[in-house]
């Protein structure tokens, strides 16, 4: 798979909050696997955010669903946790479309 680099200017507060949230060891995003690095945590969070953003636009895309991404990224997560997260994402998507 070919890769591209995306460079964006973000407000400092947003950038700082994003970095802190996704790189905090044992935090809400970063895996507890010792082989996961600071950089890989950021890359996976950006990938997930872009994927979810594109999926929310019109559904006409060839991206993996959250469920498949979560299984690949975090194989240690149980199916019940993945289902719970996927359901929360779906609820938020429906709420945004109806609001």
The model's pLDDT over 43-76, given as tens digits with 9 standing for 90+, comes to 888 888 887 777 777 666 555 677 777 777 777 7
Q: What is the DSSP string of the chain?
A: -----------HHHHHHHHHHHHSTTSSSS-S-TT--HHHHHHHHHHHHHHHHHHHHTS-S----HHHHHHHH-TTS-HHHHHHHHHHHHHHHHHHHH-
Give the chain's domain count: 1
Q: What is the pTM of this model?
A: 0.53
Which residue segment(s) compose the domain that 17 sits in? Answer: 12-98
Instruction: Give a yes or no: residue 6 inside a domain.
Output: no
The pLDDT of residue 30? 75
On whether the CB atoms of residues 76 and 36 are closer than 8 A, the answer is: no
Q: Residue 61: its pLDDT value, please?
A: 57
5, part of any domain: no
Question: Phi, psi at residue 61, to the nearest 5°?
Answer: -155, 165
Q: Is 76 domain-assigned?
A: yes
Residues 2-30 have pLDDT tens digits of 778 888 888 899 888 888 888 887 777 77
pLDDT attached to residue 38 = 83
Residue 2: inside a domain: no
């Amino acid at each position: 798979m070919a890769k591209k680099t995306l460079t964006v200017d973000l407000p400092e507060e947003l950038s700082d909050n994003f970095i802190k949230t996704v790189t905090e060891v044992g935090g809400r995003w970063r895996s507890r696997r010792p082989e996961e690095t600071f950089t890989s945590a950021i890359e996976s969070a950006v990938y997930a955010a872009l994927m979810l953003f594109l999926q929310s636009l019109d559904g006409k895309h060839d991206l993996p669903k959250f469920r498949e991404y979560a299984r690949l990224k975090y194989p240690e997560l149980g199916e019940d946790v993945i289902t719970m997260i996927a359901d929360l994402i779906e609820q938020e998507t429906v709420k945004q479309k109806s609001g």
